[in-house]
Amino acid sequence: MFPRGVVIFAVTRQGVETAAKIRDIFNKKQITCRVFAPQKNATEGVIATEKRLGEAVSKVFGDVDAVVAVMATGIAVRTIAPLLKSKLLDPAVVCVDTSGKFVISLVSGHYGGANELAKLIAEGLGALPVITTASDVLGKQSVDELARTLCCKILNPESLVAVNSALVNGEELALVLAGTTKISTDKIEDYEVITAENTSHAIEIVNCFDAGVIITNEEASLGGLRKPTTFLKPKTVAVGIGARKNVAEEDIVETVKCALARVHIPVERVNRLATVEIKKDSLSMNKAAERLGLKLEFIRIKELGSFRHGDLSPDSKLVKEKFGVGGVCEQAALITAGKKAKLVLKKTKAKGVTVAVALEE
């Protein structure tokens, strides 16, 4: 959840006090966050900035998963408006009044997670979450929310308005799983789930409904399509692991499952599991992979050592002294997830096991 972190901006003294409470909420959830405020109102643990608000927000806007603006909604809207690009690219933006009574989801409510973040903050502050997206008001699962939940890429975002409109208007929608698509259906709501042999067959099915969603590993082809349809493609989910020499098989399995639970990804949704090549003969690792239903992949030390990525944690001195690389699990996860991957869970440790989770961009 929000692996690139959250930034909180406050402009008044009371706003800084509320921002500090929000920071405590994030700390309890192990969400990385920074609080910014003007020099005159900055307190301990708050980063003082002499820049104008718009300039300060602009500097970090593209580098984080969410922005929390503790200020009047009008100020927040005018500040972020020039920075907005797309609902699929923009970070989540949440606005909180300075006294902490209302928490408003402003931007990227579904795909960016602003609705989820607003609820989290509101629960921690004892405030009222304000969610205005139509599907949420009606208690329905929008297509972009579905894509985020299932870790899918939206191939034709221009279809979202029509398909979501069909959803909120109570029309008949089908969700079709094409071919060998690997998706757990227990998180799918408001859609009739149907399986199809391939994408062409899926299109035939959707044409019998008012609108639909097709989840496929194939490229989107609109040939023969007569109804509003959104195409989703499952992103590659990769788990990187490292472990001490004599770690138990059960501890590896448990740590991986706990790590995935933290980012709400079922084990069945994982595509790749990887570690360093020197673990090839580790019986516990191989047995753990077998129990997880995954093939364990091994990456050369040289490749791990030369890998560079902005999401990587600082090198571990102990790991570097022992293996000659600064880390294993984060590098392994990112390498196997693909070129445009990002960490959705940075290195987490338990019972002698380290786990990281990466998601294809």
CATH number for 69: 3.40.50.11220
Asked if residue 303 and residue 201 are part of one domain, the reply reads no
Residues with Cβ within 8 Å of residue 88, at least 6 apart in sequence: 111, 144, 154, 157
pLDDT confidence of residue 87: 81
Residues with Cβ within 8 Å of residue 119, at least 6 apart in sequence: 103, 129, 131
Q: How far apart are CA 35 and CA 47, in angstroms?
A: 6
Tell the burial category of 153 from Cβ atoms under 10 Å away from its Cβ (0-12, 13-18, 19+): middle
Q: What b-and-e string marks burial along 82-92, b requiring 16 or more CB atoms within 10 Å of the CB?
A: ebeeebeebbb
Asked if residue 264 and residue 207 are part of one domain, the reply reads no
List the single range of 68-82, 209-223, 248-262 with lowest mean pLDDT: 209-223
Which strands, in side-by-side order, build the sheet including 296-299? 296-299, 272-276, 237-243, 353-360, 341-350
Asked if residue 346 and residue 272 are part of one domain, the reply reads yes
Domain that holds residue 159: 143-234
Residue found by looking up tokens 């909604």 in the block: 73
**DSSP secondary structure letter of residue 194:** E
Task: Give the residue with greater pLDDT, 184 vs 165.
Answer: 165
Over the stretch 242-256, which tens digit does the pLDDT of each residue have? 998 889 999 999 999
pLDDT confidence of residue 114: 92
Asked if residue 300 and residue 256 are part of one domain, the reply reads yes
Among residues 168, 200, 234, the one where a domain terminates is: 234
Asked if residue 229 and residue 248 are part of one domain, the reply reads no
Asked if residue 229 and residue 154 are part of one domain, the reply reads yes
pLDDT value at 17 more than 90: yes
Question: What percentage of residues in the chain have a pLDDT greater than 90?
Answer: 63
Asked if residue 147 and residue 110 are part of one domain, the reply reads no
Across 88-92, 187-191, 314-318, 332-336, which has the greatest mean pLDDT? 332-336
- The count of structural domains within the chain is 3
Cα 187 to chain centroid, rounded: 15
Backbone angles phi, psi at 236, to 5 degrees: -70, 125
pLDDT confidence of residue 68: 97
Q: How far apart are CA 232 and CA 181, in angstroms?
A: 11
Beta bridge partners of 234: 152
Among residues 216, 234, 252, the one where a domain terminates is: 234
Task: Give the residue with greater pLDDT, 317 vs 295.
Answer: 295
Is residue 93 one of the residues assigned to a domain? Answer: yes
At 302, is the secondary structure helix, strand, or coil?
A: helix
Question: Residue 333 belongs to a domain with what CATH number?
Answer: 3.30.420.180
Asked if residue 247 and residue 229 are part of one domain, the reply reads no
pLDDT confidence of residue 44: 87
Is residue 137 one of the residues assigned to a domain? Answer: no
pTM: 0.75
Is residue 138 one of the residues assigned to a domain? Answer: no
Question: What percentage of residues in the chain have a pLDDT greater than 70?
Answer: 99
Among residues 200, 234, 268, the one where a domain terminates is: 234
